[in-house]
Amino acid sequence: MSGAASTAASAKPLLLALHSSSESLGVAVQPLGQPAGPARVASFPLWRRLSNELLPCVEQLLPADQWPQIGRLAVATGPGGFTGTRLTVVLARTLAQQLAIPLHGFSSFLLIARRLLASQAPQEAGQRLWLEQVLPRRGSVVGCYGLDPAALGGVAELELPRLVRPGESWGGDGPCAAAVVDADADARQLLELAQLAQAADLAGPWAPVLPLYPTSPVEGL
């Protein structure tokens, strides 16, 4: 075994989180199995440059020669831009497959809901939080979330994000909060959820982790 391979094999495993469901790429790295351990988190306002700059940005936090140390992965699956979300999901799936490690996908709306619910006054189980992302000329993407002690991280996705076209009723039972991504904070949410998955020894198969597209990437063509 080479010196580099031996060092990677003996190093403590790492947790890598990727979030690109907005104009900014969020990347976070933390020692796996240490939820209170030091985390390196950064966001990069790439927008349409993501396809060219994804790997260099990830390597700013975790150089490629350290990728064999990754022991578990987490990725935001959207809803978000077609290209941006797809690229990080593909990267995460490829790493998980090649390294034979667990991968967990979480919707960007779930991460926002966990932040918003944590900042509000204590709520009763069963209360629902509706999130909405307005899409120019296409309507809104709406999802529903609620506290659930049985769910990983304590918040359940009650209704998957779906497209509501202009003039349609979204059928909710309360007001909608704006679904606004915070790339840094939501990358930290990914770390937290993946650390919980590690503690619970969840399998995390990579194959079911797919991008979430409430709208078609070819709609309107």
pTM confidence score: 0.90
Phi/psi of residue 138, nearest 5 degrees: -120, -10
Alpha-carbon distance of 89 to 83, in angstroms, equals 10
Which pLDDT value is given to residue 214? 76
pLDDT along the chain (221 residues), means of 10: 48 94 95 96 90 94 97 95 88 98 97 90 69 87 93 94 85 83 96 98 97 66 32
In the chain, the domains with their CATH numbers are: 3-107+182-199 (3.30.420.40), 109-178 (no CATH)
Which pLDDT value is given to residue 1? 42
Which pLDDT value is given to residue 84? 82
Closest CA to 173 of 158, 184, 188: 158
Alpha-carbon distance of 58 to 64, in angstroms, equals 8
The DSSP string of the chain is --HHHHHHHHSPPEEEEEE-SSSSEEEEEEETT-TTS--EEEEE--GGGHHHHHHHHHHHHS-GGGGGGEEEEEEE--SS-HHHHHHHHHHHHHHHHHHT--EEEE-HHHHHHHHHHHHSSP--TT-EEEEEEEETTTEEEEEEEEE-TTSGGGEEEEEEEEEE-TT-----SSPEEE----HHHHHHHHHHHHHHHHHTT----STT-----SS-TTTT-
Alpha carbon distance, N-terminus to C-terminus of the chain: 53
